[in-house]
Amino acid sequence: MSEATAPKAVEGTLGFLDERLGSTTFLKRNVKKVFPDHWSFMLGEIALYSFIILLLTGTFLTLWFNPSMTEVVYDGSYTKLNGVKMSEAYASTLHITFDVRGGLLMRQIHHWAAILFMASILAHMLRVFFTGAYRKPRELNWLIGIGMFTLGMLEGLFGYSLPDDLLSGTGLRITQGVAESVPLVGTYVYMFLFGGEFPGTDIIPRLYMLHILLIPGLILGMITAHMMIMWHQKHTAMPVKNQTEQQVYGYPFYPVFMAKTGAYFLFTFGVLALMGAFVQINPIWLFGPYDPGAISSGSQPDWYMGVLEGALRIMPNWEISAWGHTVSFNVLIPALGPLGIIFTGAAVWPFVEAWVTGDKRQHHVNTRPRNAPVRTATGMAAVTFYGLLWIAGANDVVAERFHVSLFATTWFFRFAVFIGPYLAFVITKRICLGLQRKDAGIIGHGEESGIIMMSPDGKYSERHEPAREEKRAIILSKENARPEAPARDANGIPAPDTKGPLGHLRSRLNRAWTFDDIPVEEHGHGHGEQGEIEGGKEPEQLSH
């Protein structure tokens, strides 16, 4: 039988594109690209799938939503609001919910996808941080991730503000107060954003344009840049047997990874569809149209904005007046302080860590969190700080549910946001060091077998057996702390990096970074030799 060939029309088209774009050469070169296999890598994929679902459902909603603040009298299917004056934005949202076929389902899938998008980005960033995947050469991708999370917060805020219901209107009122609290230029920022006195008639149309065009375009550009950089630099890998800094072990992009990622997309879409169908979220018809003189009890923003809500609720009423201006620290500090500390700290961390440790090498294999106790403890302190502020955003609900004083919960969180992160740092660091000691014991003495032996003199002891080869490879992936370079050489001349206040600070931080390190070494046995490749996986050389 003769070998099958493509139709002339198809073959001609492919030849035309290949001659001008080199597409066939690109595909041949990249179709076998290796992707490491680990469950935590799926977190970033979930964020990508959620964003795709957001774009699809958002496109559906734009066909019926009317971003207008013009006042109308409602006369629709939801009879409980018939005769009530409201904006066209709120009326069109009710129309989508009750009159457009599949409208409520699309609204709820869209909202749940936004929640999942932010949750998966945060989980992905935590995985990257705790495993050290942000180190050289991936600092730029780390900054892109922080930028995407920040834009995602704005996109979510603008999105759930569009219906102009009582809950979203209250959020916009807080946004107006935050803008107005900025010293000197706050009033101008507020008037420029709202187009006049609150609420005005311009804010919803302006937020609509930002929500459907500008911010999604920026996020899409960041995702594209993120994927291109990751594709060029290769994916990081978890420490496993045979894994080195020079090779990536995993499955090829085609057909294994493509089949898996396609299935994950369908799983994500299926879960969001089920949640949209059976789990109610943001029932705007129960809140009613926005009224500046009303607010619902127990009203909460989406979870990713809870940290700002919590900071605002527990902040003391601090204001000062000077030179004819009032500075409202009770609004300004909650708006800029918590997220400024977390995001700024996260952005500079890769560069501070490299400066303190003096590590300028490229890293393609991740670190186990226990082997970087200072980093892991700092991350848990940030998570605790964020989490406490998030819970403080529901201090009225906590007080009502547990029958305690609202003032007591407020004062508890005022102290907890300072004490909690410190305790989290200390406890996490001690746990990491304890796990390091356990690993050192396994390498030095083997694992407990559960078999009790009696010696000739009548003493009992437990027999230890060597750890499995795979486990030994993971444990021995730890890089023991390198001793700091001497402050002075043999001739008494100080090293350049130790001069001046910054040099002394770097030296002190380096000692604190490596002071409690527990060496994990294999005595009498070499390690790190290349073994055979695991079945079904292929290596890929890394270029430096």
Q: What are the tens digits of pLDDT across the range 32-82?
A: 777 788 888 889 999 999 999 999 999 999 999 999 999 999 999 999 999
Would you say residue 15 has pLDDT above 80?
no
Mean per-residue pLDDT for 150-174?
Answer: 92
- Cα(524)–Cα(186) distance, integer angstroms: 68
Q: Is 521 helix (H, G, I), strand (E, B) or coil?
A: coil
Percent above pLDDT 90 for the chain = 49
Residue 481 falls inside a structural domain: no
Question: What would the two tokens of residue 143 be?
Answer: 């900054």
**How many Cβ atoms from other residues are within 10 Å of residue 139's Cβ?**
15
DSSP 363: -
Q: Which residues contact 368 (CB under 8 A, 6 or more apart)?
A: 131, 239, 474, 477, 478
Contact between residue 428 and residue 435 where contact means Cβ atoms under 8 Å apart: no
Mean per-residue pLDDT for 332-360?
Answer: 91
Percent above pLDDT 70 for the chain = 88
Give the least confident one: 125-139, 150-164, 495-509: 495-509
For β-strands 71-73 and 460-465, DSSP reports them as unpaired
Summarize pLDDT for 281-323 with one digit per residue, the tens. Answer: 999 999 999 888 777 777 788 899 989 999 999 999 888 887 7
Q: Is the peptide bond before 216 cis (omega within 30 degrees of 0)?
A: no
**How many Cβ atoms from other residues are within 10 Å of residue 41's Cβ?**
18
Mean per-residue pLDDT for 460-489?
Answer: 76
Residue 436 falls inside a structural domain: no
CA distances from 465 to 11, 434, 470 (A): 62, 21, 14
Would you say residue 1 has pLDDT above 50?
no
Question: What would the two tokens of residue 196 be?
Answer: 């006049």
pLDDT score for 525: 44
pLDDT score for 2: 43
Mean per-residue pLDDT for 319-331?
Answer: 82
Give the least confident one: 186-195, 481-490, 522-531: 522-531
- Cα(211)–Cα(213) distance, integer angstroms: 6
Would you say residue 504 has pLDDT above 50?
yes
**R_g (Cα) of the chain, nearest Å:** 29
Query: Would you place residue 85 in the very low, low, confident or very high pLDDT band (cuts 50, 70, 90)?
Result: very high
Mean per-residue pLDDT for 97-120?
Answer: 96
Q: Which residues contact 90 (CB under 8 A, 6 or more apart)?
A: 163, 164, 165, 284, 289, 290
The domain of 122 spans 34-305
Give the least confident one: 134-138, 235-239, 452-456, 540-544: 540-544
Mean per-residue pLDDT for 271-288?
Answer: 94
Burial bucket for residue 140 (CB in 10 Å: 0-12, 13-18, 19+): middle
Nearest Cα neighbor of 531 from 247, 251, 252, 253 is: 247
Residue 319 falls inside a structural domain: no
- Cα(65)–Cα(356) distance, integer angstroms: 53
pLDDT score for 483: 62
Summarize pLDDT for 189-234 with one digit per residue, the tens. Answer: 888 888 888 888 899 999 999 999 999 999 999 999 999 998 888 8
CA atoms within 13 A on the CB side of 101: 0
Residue 507 falls inside a structural domain: no
Would you say residue 327 has pLDDT above 90?
no
Would you say residue 246 has pLDDT above 70?
yes
Mean per-residue pLDDT for 380-403?
Answer: 93
Residue 50 falls inside a structural domain: yes
pLDDT score for 10: 57
Contact between residue 463 and residue 451 where contact means Cβ atoms under 8 Å apart: yes
pLDDT score for 22: 66
Nearest Cα neighbor of 200 from 75, 292, 98, 271 is: 292
pLDDT score for 536: 43
Query: Would you place residue 435 in the very low, low, confident or very high pLDDT band (cuts 50, 70, 90)?
Result: very high
pLDDT score for 5: 54
Long-range contact pairs involving 182-186 (C-beta distance under 8 Å, separation at least 24):
182/332, 183/325, 183/327, 183/332, 184/325
pLDDT score for 9: 62
CA distances from 66 to 79, 88, 130, 209, 305 (A): 20, 6, 44, 12, 25
pLDDT score for 482: 67
Would you say residue 535 has pLDDT above 50?
no
Would you list the DSSP string of 123-164?
A: HHHHHHHHHTTTSTT-HHHHHHHHHHHHHHHHHHHHHHHTT-
Q: Which helix (H) or strand (E) holds 261?
A: helix 258-278
Mean per-residue pLDDT for 166-179?
Answer: 88
Residue environment code for 265-274, b if the CB has 16+ CB neighbours within 10 A, otherwise e: beebbeebbe
DSSP 68: -
pLDDT score for 14: 60
Q: How many domains does the chain have?
A: 1
pLDDT score for 112: 97
pLDDT score for 314: 93
Average pLDDT, the chain: 85
Mean per-residue pLDDT for 331-358?
Answer: 91
Mean per-residue pLDDT for 467-480?
Answer: 84
- Cα(169)–Cα(162) distance, integer angstroms: 9
- Cα(365)–Cα(376) distance, integer angstroms: 17
pLDDT score for 26: 66
pTM for this prediction: 0.87
CATH number of the domain to which 216 belongs: 1.20.810.10
Give the least confident one: 25-29, 129-133, 355-359, 408-412: 25-29
Residue 375 falls inside a structural domain: no
Residue environment code for 245-255, b if the CB has 16+ CB neighbours within 10 A, otherwise e: eebbbbbbbee
CA distances from 355 to 37, 38, 352, 503 (A): 31, 30, 5, 10
**How many Cβ atoms from other residues are within 10 Å of residue 521's Cβ?**
12
Residue 511 falls inside a structural domain: no
- Cα(454)–Cα(115) distance, integer angstroms: 59
